[in-house]
Structure 1
Amino acid sequence: MENSDMKWCLVTGANGGIGKALTSCFVENGYSVIATDITKSSETSSNIVNLQIDLERIVLDEAYADEFKSKVDDITNDKGLTALINNAAIQILGNVKEVTRQDWLRSMNVNVSAPFFVTQLFLDSLKSNSGAVVNISSIHALQTKRNFVTYATSKGALSSLTRNMAVDLGNAVRINAIEPAAVSTDMLRAGFEGKEEQFRLLEAFHPIARIASPEEVAQLALFLCSEQSSFIHGTCLNATGGIHGCLSDPD
């Protein structure tokens, strides 16, 4: 494929379970992917460019952000992006009394401010390429439980940001969010190691009787970047297997 015909997608948090699924899904559907993460990736492919970045520095250091944009421009030969998936997030647990100032600010920087400023960096190319942005939010944006106050607040802000940016951007760039419930990543399964009964209860509590796969989230993101979703803008799409209608979740 000639470079002029390439569609470029940038994925943040590409080394995680959902990030890897996003990268694979977009490559399989004709995109070249710039896979970014704070840690180095050992995965290589002719259609994947790995780029190590610190999202919090993008928020706090304008020169670093400009350098990041220049690297992406060089990778794409100034063609820019057709899709941007703001997937990276951190989850720091603790109740209102326990959360430190550093935990709070870091969570907001990575989970809310970074998606805003990364999107801002690439607005021009996304507009010229008729591109789309997808923010990976969470069911915690609307429903949460104890000790998730920082994470849930950040995801609520991300979903609100998605709606507000859609209003502000008009028809320049489409932007949507996905709000998944539990997703079967390696990290989630590691948290249930030795707790098979609790994991079974978590699955059973979802009306669909299971939790999501990373690939299902990736397919939704691909759809939201496609022409098939051309009238979907400013939407926060819940992908919860029906659990959003339930009253409680087993701890």
Structure 2
Amino acid sequence: MKKKVLITGVLGGIGSGLAKTFKEADYFVIGLDIKTTPSDYCDLFISFDLHRFCSDANYRDKMCNKFDNEIQTLDVLINNAAMQILSSVEEIRLDDWNHTLNVNLTGPLLLSQFFLKQLEQVHGCIINIASIHQQLTKKRFVAYATSKSALVGLTKSMSVDLQGKVRVNAISPAAIDTPMLHEGFNNDSTMVQKLNDLHPLRRIGKPAEVSKLALLLAEDGLGFINGANIQIDGGISNVLKDLD
């Protein structure tokens, strides 16, 4: 029987890469996303609002019932969905702060809790997609950087708490070539090229590089990796930029 992987935020740039890689590795791919267009790489797609799952008890009960009916077994849970609202300390609104923490931190915890029994039965694993912002950040990333730092902390504490019943690891990508990244630069190719040049590899990352790392972590061959946060950043975290 095929192994099953559940991927949140499956329609995003990294999410699509994860779905494609695991599908090609002969996994049964279950995709969740707030968007409603099914992915070609999903065997089962469920429209899902992670923020609402955290904040609305009735919606949470409804979705838990749906999961019970449609997902009886699970080998890998990948908490990939993320919310990035840019705001300074002075500007940030409580609603935006709570929305960010719900999607990036509380959601992964609640989904991990819900699927824990299925994952324990097969000694499966949880992979949390964090970010370089858990360690290095920029102005106006207050909520996002905080949530990703906490997600790495959650990863480490869960790995200890679960005592080997389920492995839990995090991946922290730096700049990855996704539509979201290009939109953040207003699709300005000159700015993206400058970002490429900042990295020692002279380029930013590709979604497939993140997804292939996730696949390696999901397989038993690297089963001794537990509670780790693996950076995939092209060496940018080693760069101290000098004055021009």
TM-based fold match above 0.5: yes
3-state SS of 2:119 partner:
helix
How much does 1:126 deviate? 0.3
Q: CA RMSD in A?
A: 1.7
Tell me if the contact between 2:10 and 2:39 (Cα under 8 Å) persists in the aligned partners: no
Q: 1:16 maps to which residue?
A: 12
Q: TM-score, normalised by structure 1?
A: 0.92
Q: 2:158 maps to which residue?
A: 165
Q: 1:49 maps to which residue?
A: 44
- Aligned 1:43-122 pairs, distance under 5 A: 43-44=39-40, 48-76=43-71, 78=72, 80-122=73-115
Letter of the 2:209 partner, please give it: E
Tell me the alpha carbon deviations over residues 94-149 of structure 1, each in whole angstroms, 9 at most, x when there is no partner.
11001001111110111100000011000000010221110000000011011111
How much does 1:30 deviate? 1.2
How much does 1:48 deviate? 1.5
Number of aligned residues: 243
Q: 1:205 maps to which residue?
A: 198
Q: Is the alpha carbon distance of 1:248 and 1:163 closer, same or farther for their aligned partners in structure 2, counting shifts above 3 Å?
A: farther
- Aligned 1:204-243 pairs, distance under 5 A: 204-243=197-236
Unaligned runs of 5+ residues in structure 1 are none
2:9, 2:135 → 1: CA distance? 22
Letter of the 1:178 partner, please give it: I
How much does 1:201 deviate? 1.4
Letter of the 1:74 partner, please give it: N
Quick one: percent identity of the two aligned structures? 42
Q: Is the alpha carbon distance of 1:241 and 1:249 closer, same or farther for their aligned partners in structure 2, counting shifts above 3 Å?
A: farther
How much does 1:24 deviate? 0.9
Letter of the 1:92 partner, please give it: I
The worse-fitting range, judged by mean Cα deviation, of 58-67 and 212-221 is 58-67
How much does 1:9 deviate? 0.7
Tell me the alpha carbon deviations over residues 195-217 of structure 1, each in whole angstroms, 9 at most, x when there is no partner.
33221111111111111101111
Letter of the 2:26 partner, please give it: G
1:67, 1:200 → 2: CA distance? 45
